[in-house]
Structure 1
Amino acid sequence: MSDDENVAAAAAAIRRGEAVVYPTETVYGMGADATDPAAVERVFDIKGRDRSKPLSAGFPDVDAALEHVVADEREVAFMRRFLPGPVTVVVERRDTLPDVLVAGRDRVGVRVPDHELACRLFRAAETPVTATSANRSGTGSITHPEQLSDDIRDAVAVVLDGGTTPGTESTVVDPGQGIIHRRGAMADDIEAWLEADE
């Protein structure tokens, strides 16, 4: 199948409540409809992930994200500066994103990958998509589809192959509170922005 056909098949699977694997500019991610509690539960089950650890949501662009989160001027400015990119931006969620996604918290991690295939998938799915690494919890991140465990390959509907990804984790940052939760790609640039904007 062509890339277009694979993206269409993966988007259709997401709309049906199934999970898929897709590449990003960091590692491979596992995607399901982030607005559907049952689909989100499926991702937790496939990963063997503790329900107390929230998942992020992926979007094709910042404007699409802003339909599902509440962000002030500083947060929006940060998102427009660093997204798309290898950054997870923590902001207040709207009710369209269910409790199970964020472990009952009021904030959610937003991802807009700097990766054409991922963004095409998110656009075609027409819904926020879970953005979590495509590995069993506690095992190493996946940088090529060949590394996927048989369990995960069997559990997802489609694997989008984007070749080898860099493997650097995204930096997780709450720009509203000026906190970097996890240092990863672009961490120094992000730190400089947060300090300059105080």
Structure 2
Amino acid sequence: MDIIEKAVSFLMHDGIVVYPTETVYGLGADAFSDEAILRVYEAKQRPLSMPVSIAVSDFEMLFCVSRTEPWMEDFIQAFLPGPVTVVLPARNCVPEILTGGTGMIGIRIPAHDIALRLIERFDSPITATSANLHGSKDPRTPDECTVPRDLLIDGGMLPGVPSTVVDLTGRTIVRKGAMADKVEAFLSGN
């Protein structure tokens, strides 16, 4: 059994897995399992009132969990896969705990082969929060992943710049990170 199959097995049983992305290490759990999501919040010591983003493997999966308008789809096509998290209205299938009661969900399509293979093989969204204690430094190496987990997929040293978070309904940047300048230019041009 390879490491991806092993990770998928943990995800299928409400486990939590640390995985590499093109930004930092993520903490992945089944985004449709309340039990798995609660384990992520506990592992990170994150307040339940704060939303947790999810990662999907393709546009089809993104559109299954969110509602979009045509101009938003242009933005999504321009920046994903990549180091950008888009905040969109969540569909009813998304557990409310992930939205922090806002009705909105942050979604990424990581531009990292291991992350994409993991999500594709799991065939469902996984959580996409950083693999660190809430408020701690974003993890660039496996040693910096300080949260309890069932499995860690070692992707070596990662860039360490978190994704830029963009609320597409408000056309605003929530958190500047990787590619923030290009995101700002796109938003101001549309």
Task: Tell me the TM-score range normalised by the shorter chain.
Answer: over 0.9
Describe the superposition over 1:75-134 as per-residue Cα deviations: whole angstroms up to 9, x where unpaired.
Answer: 111111100000000001111110111111111000111101001001111111000000
How many residues align? The count is 190
* Partner of residue 184, structure 1: 177
Determine if contact 1:74/1:176 at 8 Å carries over to the other structure. Answer: no
Determine if contact 2:142/2:156 at 8 Å carries over to the other structure. Answer: yes
Equivalent residue runs for 1:118-137 within 5 Å: 118-137=115-134
Equivalent residue runs for 1:100-111 within 5 Å: 100-111=97-108
- Partner of 2:22: helix, strand, or coil? coil
* Partner of residue 156, structure 2: 163
Structure 1 residue 175 displacement after superposition: 2.3
* Partner of residue 57, structure 1: 54
Determine if contact 2:88/2:104 at 8 Å carries over to the other structure. Answer: yes
Determine if contact 1:37/1:101 at 8 Å carries over to the other structure. Answer: no
- Partner of 1:88: helix, strand, or coil? strand
Pairwise CA RMSD of aligned residues?
1.1
Determine if contact 2:25/2:145 at 8 Å carries over to the other structure. Answer: no
Identity of aligned residues (%): 39
Q: Which ranges in structure 2 are unaligned for 5 or more consecutive residues?
A: none
Q: Which ranges in structure 1 are unaligned for 5 or more consecutive residues?
A: none
Does residue 114 in structure 1 map to residue 107 in structure 2? no
Structure 1 residue 141 displacement after superposition: 1.1
In 1: Cα distance, 2:36 partner to 2:156 partner: 26
Determine if contact 1:175/1:194 at 8 Å carries over to the other structure. Answer: no
Describe the superposition over 1:152-183 as per-residue Cα deviations: whole angstroms up to 9, x where unpaired.
Answer: 2xx31211111110000110001232111111
* Partner of residue 16, structure 1: 13
Does residue 72 in structure 1 map to residue 74 in structure 2? no
Determine if contact 1:26/1:170 at 8 Å carries over to the other structure. Answer: yes
Q: TM-score, normalised by structure 1?
A: 0.93
Determine if contact 2:44/2:133 at 8 Å carries over to the other structure. Answer: yes
* Partner of residue 78, structure 2: 81
Q: TM-score, normalised by structure 2?
A: 0.97
Equivalent residue runs for 1:36-47 within 5 Å: 36-47=33-44
